[in-house]
A = this chain, B = another copy of it.
Amino acid sequence: MSETLTIEAGFSHRGGMERQDTEQRGTEERRDSARAALLAGYQTVRQLTELLAETLSPEDQQLQSMPDASPTKWHRAHVTWFFETFILQAHKSGYCVFDEHFNYLFNSYYEAVGARHPRPERGLLSRPTAATVTQYRHYVDTAMTDLLDCADDATLATLAPLVALGLAHEQQHQELLLTDIKHAFSRHPFAPAYLPSQSFTREEPARLGFVDFEGGIAEIGHDGHGFAFDNEGPRHRVLLHPFRLATRPVTCGEYLEFMADGGYARPEFWLSDGWAMLQREGWQAPLYWSQEPHRENWQIFTLMGRRAVDPAEPVCHVSFYEAAAYAAWAGKRLPTEAEWEHAAVSGRAEHMGGFLDRQHPHPRPLLDGGDATLRGYGEVWEWTRSGYEPYPGFKPAAGAIGEYNGKFMVGQIVLRGGSCATPHGHIRPSYRNFFPPAARWQFSGIRLAEDL
């Protein structure tokens, strides 16, 4: 039942992404502890979602500013529907759904679960109201708590992985809730702030160093201890060629040098699709940057409002195309996901983060530290040079749950690491995030690599 422990760990940082080893405990104790941990994890994750939505008015919660983003209210209902559909309806006898319309409204993409409301029209759902969604969440929470309290051990053992999946799923939507409301607010002509702004001191960022790895046969993928998504397995061997990885993500100051050197005007740095996109969209800087006449005056829109760009902080809201162009300009490249994962578990990576737990959903500057340590996980997601493809031997689960990951394995790029909007307990070194190469509304940044 170690899945639940990872959940719990999500909200008490223990300074690393290593899994918890619990095997020494006695069986009895473990069973009780497992049930308690499952319940605690459930409550903690569910409460955090409500906390994140707390400052948003019913009107805010309905905003959908692009087809890829969803309203806050929809996120809150959809993750609830996930528990209702895959756990309560399947496993709680006599359970009555809160509203039979919700299966149509809050199914995201599960073809096997039936017809669903078109994604680009989620912003047109004034009904149910935010208040009704709150009632829905209470209704499902009560039923879930009741189910987890009363289930016999065998049932609990069946439910635990599903609950862990449901919570990991809700944590993903916690990050999306933030990136989506950020996008929505950025479209408002007066750019409202989600949180009050925080004063900050400009500091020099850590110097950029590189850590060497000699390559060879390595194992990557989830090892089966604790929860993981299906796309993280099977664990398998890969052959790595010698490489180096930057000690920290690229900063805004470094990115400004790229821009000043004609980064957005010189096709030689760009992949062809990226250059076409740049021209079509008129890109001149990362998303949320607004240009003023002089370089010093670039402004950035954050969840804490608009302010000057801080050269010391990691650059984010760049697409894969921009990340790859920056790397080409810098004479480097992006890491593969296998290189990244190998480095993350090498003992040479430091995992203080960062993450959503810091309650400051914007990347912060990394101050100077050891040159031989990889730092900065938990500030920005890091684009890799790897397309999102199945691992050798990968097979999606049967049924609707099998649609969770596998069907997206084309046209997307893997990101690794976790951002300032990611719940810390949500991620692992084997975690594979993925977005299309043009996506910019996630907290996505750049870590450089090169061949040795």
Contact = CB atoms under 8 A, between A and B. Distances in A.
Interface string A352-390: 000000000000000000000000000000000111011
A239 B217 contact: yes
A411 to B, nearest CB: 5
Nearest to A65: B124
Secondary structure at the A interface, as helix, strand, loop or mixed, is: mixed
Interface in A167-206: 184, 187-190, 192
27 contacts: A57-B58, A57-B126, A59-B126, A59-B127, A60-B126, A62-B62, A109-B272, A111-B267, A111-B275, A112-B267, A117-B189, A121-B187, A123-B123, A124-B184, A127-B190, A236-B241, A238-B239, A241-B393, A271-B409, A271-B410, A273-B410, A273-B411, A321-B410, A324-B410, A385-B390, A387-B387, A392-B451
A192 B61 CA distance: 20
Interface of A: 57-63, 65, 73, 101, 104-105, 109, 111-112, 117, 121, 123-127, 129-130, 184, 187-190, 192, 217, 236-239, 241, 267-268, 270-275, 320-321, 324, 333, 385-387, 389-390, 392-393, 407-411, 413, 437, 451
Contact of A59 (B59, B217, B241, B275): B59
Contacts of A101: 189-190
A432 B249 CA distance: 33
A189 B105 contact: yes
Contacts of A410: 271, 273-274, 320-321, 324, 387, 413, 437
A127 B407 contact: no
B124 A63 contact: yes
B385 A188 contact: no
A59 B109 contact: no
B188 A126 contact: yes
Nearest to A181: B126
A165 to B, nearest CB: 19
Nearest to A99: B190
A435 to B, nearest CB: 13
Contact of A270 (B58, B125, B320, B407): B407
Contacts of A117: 189
Given A59-B59, A60-B126, A237-B239, 9 more contacts: A58-B58, A59-B61, A59-B73, A101-B190, A104-B189, A126-B188, A387-B389, A392-B451, A411-B411
A17 B371 CA distance: 49
**Best-buried of A59, A60, A123, A127 by chain B (most CB within 10 Å):** A59
Nearest 9 A/B pairs, CB to CB = A387-B387, A111-B267, A59-B126, A239-B239, A60-B126, A272-B407, A241-B392, A58-B58, A271-B410
A393 to B, nearest CB: 5
Nearest to A402: B268
A130 B117 CA distance: 26
A217 B217 CA distance: 10
Nearest to A185: B126
A287 to B, nearest CB: 16
Contacts of A105: 189
Contacts of A272: 109, 407-408
Nearest to A109: B272
A211 B217 CA distance: 26
Contacts of A407: 270-272, 275
A385 B239 CA distance: 19
Given A105-B189, A270-B407, A389-B386, A130 B59 contact: yes
Contact of A126 (B62, B124, B413): B62
B451 A393 contact: yes
Contacts of A270: 407
A47 B267 CA distance: 35
A437 B320 CA distance: 19
A42 B274 CA distance: 35
A14 B333 CA distance: 41
Contacts of A271: 407-410
Among A62, A101, A104, A112, chain B packs the most CB atoms within 10 A around the CB of A62
Nearest to A218: B239
A268 B392 contact: no
